Structure formats: structure tokens, C-alpha cells
């Protein structure tokens, strides 16, 4: 059983992306303020919004139960 969760995100230039995190990977990145998404299509990097982080936390919490 894998504990990673896939998330569909959209870059600022409207390219669909998928990122995958385990709960620990995600929380470690957030705590280190190192959570940055990258679009391979247009080579753009961006930080997720607080709302996106909250949704991801909720999904990861559900997957852990």
C-alpha cells in the first residue's frame, strides 16, 4: 500500500501538472518553506497558496486513515 497521494494542479500559465507526496514529504517541505511547484511545460516555478496547502493536508490526512 502506497501512502503517497497524487494532486492535480495547474501552473500560472494554465498547464496541467500532477505532483505526488507522502504525508511526511509534504509536511517537511511546508515546514522548511521549501514547497515549490514546477511546470516542465513552460519552466515556471510557483509557491502554492494557503488554500492549496490546506486542501492537500486534508487529502493526505484522509489517506492516512
Per-residue model confidence as pLDDT tens digits over 48-62: 999 999 999 999 988
Nearest to 44 by CA among 2, 11, 3: 11
pLDDT(65) > 70: no
CA distance 28 to 40: 23
Question: Nearest to residue 63, comparing CAs of 5, 17, 13, 1?
Answer: 5
Q: pTM above 0.85?
A: no
Tens-digit pLDDT profile for residues 19-41:
999 999 999 999 999 999 999 99
Q: What is the mean pLDDT of residues 10-19?
A: 96
Residue ranges of domains in the chain: 5-64
**Average pLDDT value for residue range 2-26:** 93
Amino acid at each position: 500500500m502506497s501512502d503517497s497521494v497524487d494532486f492535480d494542479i495547474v501552473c500560472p500559465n494554465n498547464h496541467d501538472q500532477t505532483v505526488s507526496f507522502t504525508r511526511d514529504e509534504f509536511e517537511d517541505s511546508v515546514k522548511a518553506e521549501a514547497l515549490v511547484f514546477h511546470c516542465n511545460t513552460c519552466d515556471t516555478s510557483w509557491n502554492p497558496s494557503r488554500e492549496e496547502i490546506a486542501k492537500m493536508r486534508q487529502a493526505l490526512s484522509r489517506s492516512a486513515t
